[in-house]
Amino acid sequence: MNILHIDSACLGDNSASRQLSAAAVEALCAGAQASVVYRDLSAAPLSHVNGPLMQVMRSEWNTALPMNAELSAEALLTESLLAEFMAADVLVLGAPMFNLSVPSTLKAWLDRVLLQGRTYDVGPDGRTVGLATGKRVVLVSTRGGQPHEMLADHQESYLKAVFAIMGVAQVDVVRAEGIALGAELRAQAIQGALRQAAQLRVAG
């Protein structure tokens, strides 16, 4: 079993999502033959995608724009990110809520892997067809507040929509909310989420 473990939190050692994503990986590895690839999107952020890179990735290369070393390196990096994701049986994704959505570092990764023709296609009827089927995503969701205080959730619901487009049928959520509402609520939330994480197992 191949596990891709990704963190995107930027608050360092105090990060709840990093603690929880590590616990999720540990539980999944228990009793299973697993190989783990780790990627830290905060320590090694990806650049934003741009027009030439998208042209290259979509094989719509405009010969009027010469390939240069930087573009070539970004295209190779994107290929390796795609290969890393496609090789994973399980993606454990640490995804805190930042301003109702996900950290921009995570969005930059999604822009590299949510690619038409690679992880999804669009059928003649305009519907998307996922090409990254057979995977499982463990979504580690942390939030400073409580759901009732939120005008909208563009974090978990957004990520579920993204993985649905790619054809991922199983998304398990490990969630800790109220992280910023005092030490007691934070500790309770993390303990509850650690219990959820500890129950994760590989099917079969």
Judged by the rule CB under 6 A, the positions of this chain that interact with ligand FMN are: 9, 11, 15-18, 96-100, 142-145, 179-180
Nearest to 172 by CA among 30, 42, 25, 29: 25
Report, in Å, the least distance between residue 150 CB and ligand FMN.
6
Nearer to ligand FMN, 18 or 118 (CB): 18
Q: How far is the CB of 36 from ligand FMN (least distance, A)?
A: 19
Min dist CB 145 to ligand FMN, Å, is 3
* CA distance linking residue 4 with residue 15, whole number of Å: 19
Looking at residue 149, the DSSP 8-state letter turns out to be G
CB closer to ligand FMN, 15 vs 78? 15
> Nearest distance from residue 179's CB to ligand FMN, in Å?
4
* Interaxial angle between packed helices 104-113 and 69-87, expressed in degrees from 0 to 180 and rounded to the nearest 10: 90
Instruction: Report in angstroms the alpha-carbon separations of 51 from 64, 72, 103, 183, 190.
Output: 13, 13, 22, 45, 41
Q: Which is nearer to ligand FMN, 110 or 150 (CB)?
A: 150
Closer by beta carbon to ligand FMN, 85 or else 98: 98
CA 174, distance to chain mean position in Å, is 13
